[in-house]
Amino acid sequence: MTMMTPHPSDQQEDEEMLVPHSDLVDGPQPLVEGPQPMEAESNGTVENQASDEPQASHFTWAIENFSRLNIKKLYSDVFTVGGYKWRVLIFPKGNNVEYLSMYLDVADSATLPYGWNRYSQFSLAVVNQMHNKYTIKKDTQHQFNQRESDWGFTSFMPLSELYDPNKGYLVNDICIVEADVAVRKVVDYWAYDSKKETGYVGLKNQGATCYMNSLLQTLYHIPYFRKAVYHMPTTENDNPSGSIPLALQSLFYKLQYNDTSVATKELTKSFGWDTYDSFMQHDVQELNRVLCEKLEDKMKGTVVEGTIQKLFEGHHMNYIECINVDFKSTRKESFYDLQLDVKGCKDVYASFDKYVEVERLEGDNKYQAEEHGLQDAKKGVLFIDFPPVLQLQLKRFEYDFMRDTMVKINDRYEFPLELDLDRENGKFLSPEADRSVRNLYMLHSVLVHSGGVHGGHYYAFIRPTLTDQWYKFDDERVTKEDMKKALEEQYGGEEELPQTNPGYNNTPFKFTKYSNAYMLVYIRVSDKDKIICDVDEKDIAEHLRIRLKKEQEEKEDKRRYKAQAHLYTIIKVARDEDLKEQIGKDIYFDLVDHDKVRNFRIQKQMSFNLFKEEVAKEFGIPVQFQRFWIWAKRQNHTYRPNRPLTPHEEAQTVGALREVSNKAHNAELKLFLEVERGQDFLPVPPPEKIKDDILLFFKLYDPEKEELRYVGRLFVKSSSKPVEILTELNQLAGFSPDEEIELYEEIKFEPNVMCERLDKRASFRFSQIEDGDIICFQKHPPPESEEQIRFPDVPSFLEYVKNRQIVHFRTLERPKEDEFSLELAKNHTYDDVVERIAQRLGLDDPSKIRLTTHNCYSQQPKPNPVKYRSVDHLLDMLVHYNQISDILYYEVLDIPLPELQCLKTLKVAYHHATKDEAIILNIRLPKQSTVGDVLNEIKTKVELSHPNVELRLLEVFYHKIYKIFPINEKIENINDQYWTLRAEEVPEEEKNLGPNDRLIHVYHFTKENAQNQVQVQNFGEPFFLVIHEGETLADVKIRVQKKLQVPDEEFLKWKFAFLSLGRPEYLEDADIVSSRFQRRDVYGAWEQYLGLEHSDTTPKRAYAANQNRHMFEKPVKIYN
């Protein structure tokens, strides 16, 4: 299918980062793990997992006038695969990033029934129309559902590449997008009962804790370990949230005896983790070590001391043995797990071979053998003993020095069901190993990671009793699985899906399998009976059994309560006492918070008159003295007592009355109990209410104390005037009878406060006062007091209360620590806010303050600061999606922000003609400036080889030179976020090129094997070189060595090659270099270069510098 779109109708991440676009926020999204692709099986049922015959199809979308699209997002036509409707969604200018964003979307998600889900493996591509090999294609898999109805790549490809007409992605302003979609059917997720189907229950996910769940299930299913945890001493006075042993005992007990999935909150609280820790994906291997170390520590001095060592501890011997003299150095070390290489190894045995591989220490790397001096030697590792439970951590994640980032290794890697570590006459064992111990192991658990380097989903395949039956533990869901699912399908590598759509080429789709094993647990056959032991109630301390059974009973009571809820009505009864207690403390607007009043759970069939007897018992108010009012929600969103119940209504059942009063059909009935009290404060019958009577509620405001409180209620005649009740109001307030007071009607407070002065001489009816209205009053303020009093009248005080906001300010340099707090108002303008900050900091010029808003999900600053006066009010800066933050970040600039915004700041690396070190310069110039202006500015800041030197500005990306900027190019459009800008002196030889001289690119490179292909990786600083006609490689070498000042010994190891489109052709000294660089139509001059092949000796950065400026990584810490 091909579609044309003739008419045009938003975080930098690693390329493997996938997100549902609709949930996109400015930082890591906690509600979706990682966010990364999820395995389909997490939502399939036992009987009907994703079927093995997926339906697949190819879709092409040609988008015309692409560069002129003036819309945020664009959908393709709908296409059908597997009976489902799909479409491609793109953000032509990026989904809040400088990248093309592209997703696969469920086209009919809005009309699908509740609980729908579907699984797809798919790839998305942007076709390179000049050179197909440069087509950018990314693939993934996802379980689509209501919450995640689209999935894909926010950072698909840089916009700078896409829109560059020389790169080949836009030809005649047409962009061609392709999608390969394969669909597997899944069935209903919601009705599945893990305990009933498998005998086991799962663990609930707290946000991003699937990595922990898979590890806990694995440890739980080592019965010897579980028994040891049960035998750790705990007491009935311990609190699970503060005791790791008790929390783990509680968790294991529930996994053993519960019928439904178990929560891990108690355990994570016992770790000392807050909610944010639960929304951070941590390293599983690190968590495993930290948890075992903690338990080992907690077991000391108890009956189970040493259990962790007995189960998991093995020993190996590091040795260095001299070849020519009799000298050997050895060191014994213990391990709880082994880290095995995946890259370059086909299986576990190959990894063990690599682990014990002998390294030769010779040449410059000889060994200093004490009295023997420098000697040739052999260095290696051999195993003294292996533990009963062998934990193998597979190195699926590693640091890519070329890309300066972490990457995931998805290569195929096999692991056996039975692992023999005595193979080939015990080649992994040291001479002192006990050969009588048979190191034959059975596979017990396979822990799987599905996704990319920055997150994803974790689950485990376990066979608890080492039979042929495997189980998949995927958070709350446990399913029976066959051996193929647990082993072969977790090897990684690529998966082929056949084309099933007739009429298209039937080449298979190839998908990288993002789901693969990252940890294996083996149990030694000879220890199997001891480790897979029986664990029953007698192993569990009595106090723990009692506590957990009580918890279970309480849970059952709650379940019953919930199940019977439809038979009951909750009646919430508010009284004068509640209004007095709450107004001015918990609330200021309206009359009461109904969640904090006494509530009664009453059977719907009970008559209301019988309920009144319940009230009489509870409050001590006889039935004849009770009068109940129904609350009503008004059109202006206030909630007030509306009218008393009639005798007819009180004769009805509670259920019938609720339906009359409540159109929302919830199970609550809200009432106000009016009780009149006599002289002795005892209840008296309520006064008769006629049509002209209005019930009003009164609040008193004290401007000096800034205090509002409830003082009572009165019946008034609607025909009467406020002036007639002033004496009674003064009495309620405790004022003298003739005190002059002002009256205001509290009308509403959403979205804005409306509180108006009440005309004391107009009738209540004229002022439209009715039952349930609120009148606020205060002493008439003397004119001289207004300066000292912040809020002299009721409206100004209510306005303040409505808008007041405590804001915590942090500096961008220390974004986790509050520097100071200010009480501000939500309706403060941008200028108000920066002025208050400037006052707090003692700054004269508030315009030098720059603010950055807070991401409520990631708990980090957003990537882009607030532009000068770009927001109207403080509230606009605090709102993040549907949440309101109370945090802002600030910087103090050296120049006013409006000035800075008119300037462009470029980060330029200046390379001196003779010095090795580059200087990093921040050049700040008006946006209309040119590259020439930048170079002139640089000249004033650096040391030049001579005063009249000529400079140039280059664009460098991944160690290649992509562009020399023209002197007159405007800097406004130059992007220094992803490319490196380099300034350098133009060498004299380049200024005097002869007619047959050529200026060529020279790059450093190494070769690397990846997935059976040789890949060229560039590194170091690229440069230009003039080559002359007829010049041999030998001549060029002399000039290169002199330019780079490489020692002879090192330079002899270098190889020289001509590279075109990544393919090296090695050159001999006699070769004429210029003959290779003939003028021809190549895809970018940077793709033809002279390559210098040698090892990369430049120091590597420990952490990528070009990460988002607020990306934090947290180590695993258990605090208690």
Q: Is the peptide bond before 795 cis (omega within 30 degrees of 0)?
A: no
- Considering only CA atoms, which of 598, 606, 601, 578 is closest in space to residue 590? 578
* 3-state SS record for 637-701: CCEEEEEECCHHHHCCEHHHHHHHHCCCCCCEEEEEEECEECCCCCEECCCCCCCCEEEEEEEEE
- Considering only CA atoms, which of 686, 673, 572, 687 is closest in space to residue 616? 673
CA angle 1044, 1047, 1048 (to 5 degrees): 115
C-alpha pair distances (Å), 356 with each of 73, 429, 1030: 55, 9, 52
User: Catalytic site residues?
Assistant: 210, 457
The set of residues, in sequence order, having a beta carbon less than 8 Å from that of 286 and lying 6+ positions away, is 1115, 1116
C-alpha pair distances (Å), 817 with each of 97, 280, 497: 27, 19, 51
Determine contact, residues 900/878, Cβ cutoff 8 Å. Answer: no
Alpha carbon distance 977, 1100 (integer Å): 21
CA atoms within 13 A on the CB side of 557: 6
Q: Report the SS3 class of residue 575.
A: coil
Determine contact, residues 640/687, Cβ cutoff 8 Å. Answer: no
| Residue 972: exposure state from Cβ atoms within 10 A (0-12, 13-18, ≥19) | exposed
Alpha carbon distance 107, 109 (integer Å): 6
C-alpha dihedral (891, 897, 902, 904), degrees to nearest 10: -10
| Residue 725: exposure state from Cβ atoms within 10 A (0-12, 13-18, ≥19) | buried
Distance, C-alpha 1100 to centroid of its chain: 28
Residue 110, strand partner residues? none
Backbone angles phi, psi at 211, to 5 degrees: -60, -40
Using the structure block, give the residue that is written with the tokens 């050969």: 435
Backbone angles phi, psi at 197, to 5 degrees: -80, -30
Residue 607, strand partner residues? 653
- Considering only CA atoms, which of 194, 248, 245, 246 is closest in space to residue 216? 248
Alpha carbon distance 427, 139 (integer Å): 41
Q: Is the peptide bond before 815 cis (omega within 30 degrees of 0)?
A: no
Q: How far apart are the two ends of the chain, measured CA to CA in Å?
A: 59
- Considering only CA atoms, which of 159, 14, 68, 67 is closest in space to residue 975? 159
Q: How many residues does the chain have?
A: 1120
